[in-house]
């Protein structure tokens, strides 16, 4: 873990240590691993994100967002005039499979782009946007507790049962 320590980073690290030490099950090895892995998108996380996307795609409300919009086939010729960066779950899955994402934030940004595109093109009161909102709630619920490693996943499981 190579970091240049600026005052800001030191304060940030100090705050993280304070947060983690409040937890009775503080694990210095997990803490240091999380610190070193910050910003990096691990194979473990990519696999877990793929599982989350697979679950989201199974939701009936996610059907409009699985495949990239084809303006001619879908009868919405002005789509690319309004939406400058189209996104779909197929594209996201392809990027996950090819390890195109370097950081978790890039992945989340693409998923959020699906919801934003639905809102921009269809409007907030549309059925399509309401479906996007429901799918986003499901996605956010599952992504917020995503562990960084197998070890962290086991610790989360142990904490739930104890």
pLDDT in tens, the chain (162 residues): 444 444 455 555 555 555 555 554 545 544 444 544 455 788 889 999 999 999 999 999 999 999 999 999 999 999 999 999 999 999 999 999 999 999 888 999 999 999 999 999 999 999 999 999 999 999 999 998 788 777 877 777 777 786
Categorise residue 150: left if φ over 0, alpha if ψ from -120 to 50, beta otherwise.
alpha
- Report how far apart, in Å, the C-alpha atoms of 67 and of each of 45, 54, 64, 81 are: 23, 13, 7, 19
The percent helix, strand, coil of the chain (3-state, each to 5) is 65, 0, 35
Q: Which pLDDT score is estimated for 145?
A: 78
Q: Which pLDDT score is estimated for 22?
A: 56
In the chain, DSSP finds a helix count (H) and a strand count (E) of 8, 0
Q: Are 154 and 84 in contact (CB under 8 A)?
A: no
Instruction: Give the whole-angstrom CA distance, residue 134 versus residue 115.
Output: 10
């Amino acid at each position: 873990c190579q970091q240049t320590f600026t005052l800001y980073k030191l304060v940030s690290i100090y705050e993280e240590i304070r947060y983690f030490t409040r937890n009775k099950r503080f694990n210095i090895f997990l803490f240091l691993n999380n610190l070193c892995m910050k910003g990096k998108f691990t194979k473990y996380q990519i696999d877990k994100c793929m599982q989350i996307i697979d679950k989201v795609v199974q939701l009936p409300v996610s059907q409009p967002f699985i495949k990239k919009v084809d303006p001619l086939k879908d009868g919405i010729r002005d789509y690319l005039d309004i939406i400058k960066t189209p996104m779909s779950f197929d594209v996201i899955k392809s990027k996950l499979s090819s390890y195109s994402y370097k950081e978790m934030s890039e992945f989340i940004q693409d998923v959020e782009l699906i919801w934003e595109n639905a809102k921009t093109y269809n409007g907030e009161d549309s059925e399509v946007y309401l479906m996007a909102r429901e799918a986003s709630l499901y996605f956010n619920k599952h992504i917020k507790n995503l562990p960084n490693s197998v070890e962290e996943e086991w610790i989360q499981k142990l904490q739930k049962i104890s």
